[in-house]
Structure 1
Amino acid sequence: MEFIKPGRQFDFMSKRRYFIGGSVLLLLLSIFTYFRPGLRLGTDFRGGTEIEVALLQSVSTTEIRAAVEHAGFESPEVIEVTSPGTANRVMIRVLEVNSISEEQKHAVRQHFCLVEEGEAKADPHCASALVPTEIRFSPGGDKISLRYESAPDLAAIQKQIEGIEGITLQSPERGVVLANERDHKVEIHLRSKGDLLLDGLRQELGTDKVPAQALRVEWIGPKAGAQLRDAAIKSVLIAIIFIMAYIAFRFDLRFAPGGIVALVHDVGIALGAMAITQREITISTVAAMLTIVGYSINDTVIVYDRIRENLPRHRGLSFSAIINLSISEMLGRTIITSGVTALSMLAFLWWGTGMIKDFAFALLVGIGVGTYSSIYVAAPLTEWIDKRFFGGSAVQQRRVVSRAKVQKRPDAVV
């Protein structure tokens, strides 16, 4: 299959100023969207609790938001989940996460008679059998782990924990369980923010509209979210640095800046498209950005490789003309590769759900700008760097090398 007839050439470089100007304007616009309307960070990066509920009846997002606020949660986010075969499914996010305050931790230790040395015990009649040797609180604040020297009395432990203000068991049956009989380990499961959120919805909207259980409950603390955000930024930067080193080693130092600027261009515009459409930035989005980096640099390396091959073949052409020739020769391959990949992403964008749609959207934008940047960002910038900092030596060096080869041939005519 050939989209471009062999031998046909396009003058890309004559229009480079217009396209580079458009790229700069688009990149600046993308950077502006990072602040207004701003990147919509998901729960992965900002922390919070997220539940997905399949409602029994149709309820507007305004009613759901009002019910969540009335249940005691601030600034809730309600999103309708539209996918084939599902109805009345919503995703609710709140900034609150499960947590046990230091005061509550101290109260738990006092109720279980395990206090710091020198402090008075809350109950002077604590039986030694009811005093644990260790208390641990989960980072999520939804579980307390206890260890005992002998077989614990679960009913007595449940009675102790029920007297603490702000501590609510998940259920009478599942609240206190023996996790490890040999180690005498007991786990106390507390009600999470997701459970409290669902209870609030059932109370406000009615049990005929809200089911007893959520389809999915996820949470992440703000500290862990900040760590994930920093790690995501570092991963993208490290990938770009290693790619720059690879291009400089694989080709020439003058090729590396063009490839890196093209990568920054592609990732920046893809993030800008996510910000304009207010799609969520999650771990999946970071994976999409890294995929864009890999896809874009692959296309750029192919163009660079053809430019390097054509330099000794066409000694009478300028560097700009060689770039036009090389891109024209690779244009058919680029159209087929990018087109097939884009078609698969369109299928995911049309029939996918949730994060898959966001992932496909980011990749679709990245494929478009990645193909464009190889032609109108990376190659023109390489030509400018060669002219500005190397005195146009790329073509001159190839001419010298080619003449030396001709002179060394025994049958060469001088």
Structure 2
Amino acid sequence: MEFIKPGRQFDFMSKRLYFIGASVLLLLLSIVTYFVPGLRLGTDFRGGTEIEVALKQSVPTTEIRHAVERAGFESPEVIEVTSPGTPNRVMIRVLEVNTLTEDQKQAVRHRLCLAEEGEATADPRCANVLVPTEIRFSPGGDKISLRYEKAPDLAAIEKQIEGIEGITLQSRERGVVLANERDHKVDIHLRSKGDLLLDGLRHELGDDKVPEQALRVEWIGPKAGAQLRDAAIKSVLIALIFIMGYIALRFDLRFAPGGIVALVHDVGIALGAMAVTQREITISTVAAMLTIVGYSINDTVIVYDRIRENLPRHRGLSFAAIINLSISEMLGRTIITSGVTALSMFAFLWWGTGMIKDFAFALLVGIAVGTYSSIYIAAPLTEWIDKRFFGGSAVQRRAPKRTKQEKRPHAVV
């Protein structure tokens, strides 16, 4: 299949200034959208609790949002999830997470007759009480693990924990359980924010609308979210550095800046599109950005490779003319590969759900700007760098050497 007839050439370089100007403007507008309306960070990066619920009846999202607020949660997000097999499915996100404060931890230690360092207190009421030798709080704040020297009394432990503000046992059956009989290990399961959120919905909307259990409950703390955000930024920067080194070694130093600028251009505009459409920035989005980086640099490297092949073949042409020739020769291949990949992403965007749609949208934008940047960003910048800093040596050093006979002046008769 041939979209471009062999031998046909397009003059891309004559219009490069217009397209570069448009790219700069688009990239600047994308940067503005990072602040207004702003990037919509998901639970992965900002922390919070997320649950998915299959309601028994259809309930408007505004009514669900007000019910969550009345249940004691601030700034909730309610999103309808389209799922053919599960009707009335909604996703609810809140900023609260399952964490125990230091005051709550200290209250638990005090009730269990533990001092700050894990030793028994001197309180007279603890004289005949079995004191745990070890206490651990889970990072999620939904479980407390205790270890004793001999078999503990689970009912007594339950009474010790009851009444602490902000701490509620999960249930009578699952509240205090013997996790390991040999080691005398006890786990105290507390109600998570997801459980409390579902209880609040059931109280506000009624049992006829809200089920007993959620389809999915996830949470992440703000500290872990910040770590994930920093790690995501580092991963993209490290990828750019290694790609620059690869291009400099694989081709020439003058080729590397164009490839990196094109990658920054692609990722910047893709993030701007996510900000404009207010799609969530999650771990899946970071994966999409890294995929865009790989896809774009692959297209750019293929164009660079054809430019390098054509430099010694067409010694009489300028660098700009060789770039036009090389891109024209690779244009048919680019249309086929980009088109097939875009069709796949359209399918995900149309029939996918949740994060799959956001991933497909980011890749669609990345494919479009990545193909464009290989033609109008990477190649023209390489030609400018060669002319500005290397004196046009990319063509000059490959110019054919004149023989002695050619250098000798002709005799005038």
**Does TM-score exceed 0.5, indicating one fold?**
yes
Q: Please tell me the residue identity of whatever aligns with 2:238.
A: I
Q: CA deviation at 1:106?
A: 1.2
Q: CA deviation at 1:107?
A: 1.2
Q: CA deviation at 1:121?
A: 4.5
Bigger mean CA deviation after superposition, 57-66 or 153-162: 153-162
Q: CA deviation at 1:120?
A: 5.2
Q: Please tell me the residue identity of whatever aligns with 2:346.
A: L
Q: CA deviation at 1:157?
A: 1.2
Q: CA deviation at 1:165?
A: 2.7
Tell me the residue number matched to 2:143. Answer: 143
Q: Is the 8 A contact 2:113 2:126 kept in 1?
A: no
Number of corresponding residues: 403
Tell me the residue number matched to 2:376. Answer: 376
What is the distance in 2 between the residues matched to 1:18 and 1:109?
A: 69
What is the distance in 2 between the residues matched to 1:322 and 1:116?
A: 75
Q: CA deviation at 1:119?
A: 8.9
Tell me the residue number matched to 2:29. Answer: 29
- Secondary structure of 1:289's partner? helix
Change (3 A) 1:70 1:398: same
What is the distance in 2 between the residues matched to 1:119 and 1:184?
A: 18
What is the distance in 2 between the residues matched to 1:85 and 1:330?
A: 45
What is the distance in 2 between the residues matched to 1:189 and 1:47?
A: 22
1:403 to 383, 401, 404: 401
Bigger mean CA deviation after superposition, 151-160 or 250-259: 151-160
Q: How does 1:270-309 map to 2 (within 5 A)?
A: 270-309=270-309
- Secondary structure of 2:91's partner? strand
Q: CA deviation at 1:338?
A: 0.4
Q: CA deviation at 1:327?
A: 0.2
- Secondary structure of 2:163's partner? coil
- Deviation >4 Å, runs of 4+: 117-123
Q: Is the 8 A contact 2:67 2:205 kept in 1?
A: yes
Q: Is the 8 A contact 1:83 1:352 kept in 2?
A: no
| Residues 341-387 of structure 1: CA deviation (Å, up to 9, x unaligned) | 11111111111110011001101110110000000000000001111
Tell me the residue number matched to 1:360. Answer: 360
Tell me the residue number matched to 1:6. Answer: 6
Q: Please tell me the residue identity of whatever aligns with 2:110.
A: Q
Q: How does 1:173-252 map to 2 (within 5 A)?
A: 173-252=173-252
What is the distance in 1 between the residues matched to 2:277 and 2:112?
A: 52
Q: Please tell me the residue identity of whatever aligns with 2:142.
A: D
What is the distance in 2 between the residues matched to 1:337 and 1:78?
A: 38
What is the distance in 2 between the residues matched to 1:76 and 1:163?
A: 28
Question: What is the TM-score of this pair, normalised by structure 2?
Answer: 0.95
| Residues 188-229 of structure 1: CA deviation (Å, up to 9, x unaligned) | 000000100000000000010111111110000000000000
Question: What is the TM-score of this pair, normalised by structure 1?
Answer: 0.95
| Residues 278-330 of structure 1: CA deviation (Å, up to 9, x unaligned) | 00000000000000000000000000000000000001100000000000000
- Secondary structure of 2:93's partner? strand
Tell me the residue number matched to 2:128. Answer: 127
- Secondary structure of 1:358's partner? helix
Tell me the residue number matched to 2:407. Answer: none
Q: Please tell me the residue identity of whatever aligns with 2:292.
A: I
Q: Is the 8 A contact 1:111 1:123 kept in 2?
A: no
1:329 aligns with 2:329: yes
Q: Is the 8 A contact 2:104 2:166 kept in 1?
A: yes
What is the distance in 1 between the residues matched to 2:126 and 2:83?
A: 59
Q: CA deviation at 1:403?
A: 3.0
What is the distance in 2 between the residues matched to 1:390 and 1:78?
A: 57
Tell me the residue number matched to 1:412. Answer: none
Change (3 A) 1:365 1:154: same
Q: Is the 8 A contact 1:83 1:351 kept in 2?
A: no
